[in-house]
Amino acid sequence: MPPKNPSDPPVDAADLLDLGDPAVVADPYPHLAALRAVAPLAWHSGMGTWLATGHAEAGAVLRDRRLGRLFSARTPADDWDTFNWLHADSILDSEPPKHTRLRRLVAGAFGRGHVQRLAPRIEELAAGLLADLPDGEFDVLAGYAEPLPVLVIAELLGVPEADRHHLRPWSQAIVRMYEVDRTPEVEAQARQAAAEFAAYVEQLAADRAAAPGEDLLSDLVQARDGSDRLSSHELVATAVLLLNAGHEASVNGFGNGLHSWLTAPERPAVDVADPAARARLVEELLRHDSPLHLFERTAKEPATVAGVDLQPGDKVAALLGAANRDPAVFTDPDRFDPTRDPNPHLAFGAGIHFCIGAPLARLELEVSLRTLMARYPALEVVEAQRRPTFVLRGFERLVVAPVSRPA
């Protein structure tokens, strides 16, 4: 619907930001900055959504409890049945009180030391992948950044090695539905992937119920809070969400961040062996070229957000990449600065939907960077090919090569 504040300047974000424009997808930041300078919360007539490009405005969208993640089931229902309940019964697309219950149960299972116990295993998996890489140039995504998160999440959930090759194709088919330029072919692939993925996890969960292991899926099967527990659909939806979000964001966060670092003018040196320096580097990798750019909310009741009056059903989206380059919060925001501290980026969201896997994502990035740079102390980008997507921003290929240091 049109803006509710006729006295405000009639800014239409569609005039400044076309998310289907290849130039915007390739480098959205100048376009996002231009929109932020005019209106940090603006109506986009093409999308039928308010867009928050300012850090304060995006934060308000993410934290306001009057705005929710209200999943709209796709139709026809018979065709989209599995896809619909995978979302409706997940933490990401639920609101209190259901969200509160699901997050409490899942956080309880997560809190049993699963992330901490994975640290040495992540290092072992990373070293194994590095051993197969050449001494010359290589695609750091295909050979390292893509397989590592899949292996880590598979380890976390206890997915057998023989089945792990299915996970990334299923996930990629489902998450393509979050883009703004879906095709009938994309939709058909998402429906098929959702059905196959759900059926697989259902069987794996049944196996864990009969013979529990020491993995997270076993803990999710047994997760209880008094008499409450995860339903079969909630269990499967949680596992699928962890697999999807747990490696899509990690792959793109690693690839985008590494590219930002390696291509920065006068590339700043970082001692990745120093935990404090490495932690700051990881936060800047996530801020500078965020893996997730758009996170939508829907007004559940009348609300005024950043001076805009919203009515129930109105859509508003936080543009996380734009918020993370807001000059009101980040000095010289387009510069990659691995010493930046504090670094209050919104790459993991905020509010009740803050990413539950953030500790694992940070650990994975820290270990994978330290392990990579231990073998290749200096790298340069040889080829970088972007994915043609805006919401989930990443690379198709990122070819790098070792740089010989002068004697």
Crossing angle of helices 114-131 and 358-375, rounded to 10°: 30
> Is-catalytic flag, 39?
no
> Is-catalytic flag, 248?
yes
Catalytic pick among 39, 42, 190, 245: 245
Q: What's the Rg (C-alpha) of the chain?
A: 21
> Is-catalytic flag, 250?
yes
Q: What is the rounded distance in angstroms from the CA atom of residue 181 to the CA atom of residue 294? A: 14
> Is-catalytic flag, 364?
yes
* 3-state SS, residue 41: strand
Output the CA torsion sign for 306, 312, 314, 320: positive
Torsion of CA 342, 345, 350, 356, to 10 degrees: -90
> Is-catalytic flag, 355?
yes
Residue 48 zone, left/alpha/beta (φ > 0; ψ -120 to 50; rest): left
Catalytic pick among 146, 179, 234, 248: 248
Catalytic pick among 277, 355, 358, 384: 355
Q: What is the rounded distance in angstroms from the CA atom of residue 149 to the CA atom of residue 162? A: 16
Helix spans in 132-267 (H): 140, 147-157, 167-175, 184-210, 216-222, 232-262
Catalytic pick among 322, 364, 368, 401: 364
| Per-residue CA distances from 256 to 7, 195, 250, 290, 330 (Å) | 40, 31, 10, 7, 19
Catalytic pick among 90, 94, 218, 250: 250
- H helix or E strand, kind and range, residue 228: strand 228-229
CA atoms within 13 A on the CB side of 83: 24
Q: Please choose, from the candidates 407, 287, 267, the residue with its C-alpha nearest in 3D space to the C-alpha of residue 341.
A: 287
Residues classed as catalytic: 245, 248, 250, 355, 364
